[in-house]
Amino acid sequence: MKVLKKALLLAAVGGSLFATAASADQVNLTGQMWTGSEADTKTWQHLADMVSVKHPDIKVTLQTTGWVDYWTRLPVLAASGQLADIVSMQSLRMPNFYSLLEPLNERIKADKLDIGAFTPSIIGGMSVDKELYGLPYDVGPWVIYYNQDAFEAAGVPLPKPGWSLAEFTDAAKKLTKDGNYGFGVAPVNYSVMASAWGDKYIDDAGQLDLVNPAAIAAADRVIGFAAKDKIAPLVPSGNDAGTVIQGRFNSGNIAMYVDGPWSIIGMKDQVKFKVGLTTLPRDAGELAAVTAGSGFGISTTSQNKDAAWKAIQVLTSPEALSYLAEKGRALPARTAAQSSWYQVAAKDITNGGEALDYSLAHSIPYAITSNWAAVENLFNQYFPPAFAGSADAKQTMETIQSLAQQ
């Protein structure tokens, strides 16, 4: 009996020591992410749980907030040393915040991670000076949304991916009648469309250059849609021009507008017509479709960088991105998982898969500056008066260039 008690005591002590050791080996990571709904939060929680399934010794605790609050709080958290171990980052904000994140090239090389499995343009978007700072989970090219019912009622052929600027303009003119417009253009569409036409607005040194001949020519075209061709309505100055354009498209007043695949899910319940997608119109050369997307980086202040590296590999794994695609949450950054998203999110969209495939096959990183938010604010302020004929393209671009450099 004494022997049995002694054995049980030793077993209990041993078990306690084992549990203590296991607890000591447990790594608790934090991850900050934006969410738009309870369902959205549950989706990201599922991905966090996938990390623990793959690595039982790692647990990721999410810290979520809304989209606007996320970017307001990010610099505050950084300044106070309270960044999470894993930081979610959008490609268009990478130039502003990459210094908060660990460079990943050496880790990628050491683990032989296949970066070629991701759409190249979003790898470029998540990089600064050829150094990758985040593994992407989604990607989206800007495309043209169109009202299929309006095209068919006007007897205009549905646009095919790879269509030209001349074909686009001709269609928009035929669709502009009876108080309705063929196209709706927001001021911030300037850079998207200029890129599609091969017109550079940033020089080789990465500096804003809105006053070179190609940049001004692109602005003249964009402004001309409203001021000259009259195929696009006027828009108010301010940051809500894009929302106004999207609302007028949803109501049927505008037959085409520029947006990304992220708007498909929300749009389906708001329109009463058949929606189609096509590519941005190209100029004489090949289309160059800019993309944006988001991913996960490792905070430079994290005390568990190796564990965080393991975690973000799971968060952007084929299994994780296929899950996001099946939920319709994101067009995966991994090319092999993109067909799953088409089958869910774009299944009722005419030519949705074809337009996105073509755009991604002709995609490039979105060229932006570190003060791009300020530049876009200036677009929103000075393009609308030009749309109304108060200033020409050259004057508009010179004004924006001057103010952006102050």
**Could you tell me how many helices (H) and strands (E) the chain has, helices first?**
18, 13
Kindly state the tokens that stand for 345.
Answer: 């999110």
Are 150 and 252 a contacting pair, CB within 8 Å?
Answer: yes
The pLDDT tens digits of the residues spanning 248-291 come to 999 999 999 999 998 887 787 789 999 999 999 999 999 999 99
Measure the CA dihedral 97/99/101/105, to 10°: 120
The pLDDT tens digits of the residues spanning 130-140 come to 999 999 999 99
Are 290 and 188 a contacting pair, CB within 8 Å?
Answer: no
Evaluate whether 2-133+294-332 and 141-291+358-404 have a shared fold: yes
Q: Is residue 3 predicted with pLDDT exceeding 80?
A: no
Superfamily of domain covering 141-291+358-404: Periplasmic binding protein-like II (3.40.190.10)
Look at the domain 2-133+294-332 and name its fold: D-Maltodextrin-Binding Protein; domain 2 (3.40.190)
% of the chain exceeding 90 in pLDDT: 82
Helix intervals (H) in 239-388: 241-250, 264-267, 305-315, 318-326, 338-344, 352-361, 372-387
> Residue 341 pairs with which residues in a beta bridge?
none
Half-sphere exposure of 135 (CA within 13 A, CB side): 25
pLDDT of residue 61: 96
Whole-angstrom CA distances from 130 to 59, 124, 207, 289, 292 are 31, 7, 17, 20, 17
Query: Which sequence spans correspond to the domains of the chain?
Result: 2-133+294-332, 141-291+358-404
Average pLDDT over residues 330-350: 90
